[in-house]
Amino acid sequence: MRRVFLFLLLLLYPFVAEAQSAPAGIPRPVPSPALGAAARGPLGRLLALDSLRREIPPTHWKEGALLGGGALGLGFALLAAGFCGNSDVGGGCGGAVTGGFVVGAGLGVIIGALVGGQFPKERRDGR
């Protein structure tokens, strides 16, 4: 039994290897010299071009959020009222209807904003 205990103790003892110890000071990262040289040359103009537009056009995300929140909130409230009205448990359905509206409105706002964000608004200058 002693031999097993000593063997387990030796397995659990943390040996410190010199090669695995952390260096005294870890140097900070520096910018790549290749990227700096490329930015100064003709390739720098190509790197400066971005495939994303800097100006984000206005969309109908707010209208979509309002419509989606109202519609899905009303739908979930009616669904909760229907389930609560058909249940055998007595009591009021106000909490269930309110909870259904809140959950439905939360989901509807997210879905409506995502859908409305896909449709750009017409600018006042006609573009």
pLDDT in tens, 62-118: 999 999 999 999 999 999 999 988 877 777 888 899 999 999 999 999 999 999 999
- Domain extents for the chain? 61-116
Instruction: Report which residue type is found at 106.
Output: G
Model confidence, pTM: 0.54
Spatial neighbors of 68 by CB under 8 A, at least 6 apart, are: 108, 109, 110, 111, 112, 113, 115, 116
Instruction: Select from 76, 75, 67, 77 the least CA-distant residue to 112.
Output: 67
Give the pLDDT confidence of 2-11 residue by residue, as tens digits: 787 777 666 6
For tokens 């040996």, name the residue.
15
The total of other beta-carbon atoms located within 10 Å of residue 1's CB is: 5
Measure the CA–CA gap between 36 and 27, rounded to whole angstroms.
20
Contact call for residues 118 and 59 (beta carbons, < 8 A): yes
Measure the CA–CA gap between 61 and 54, rounded to whole angstroms.
19
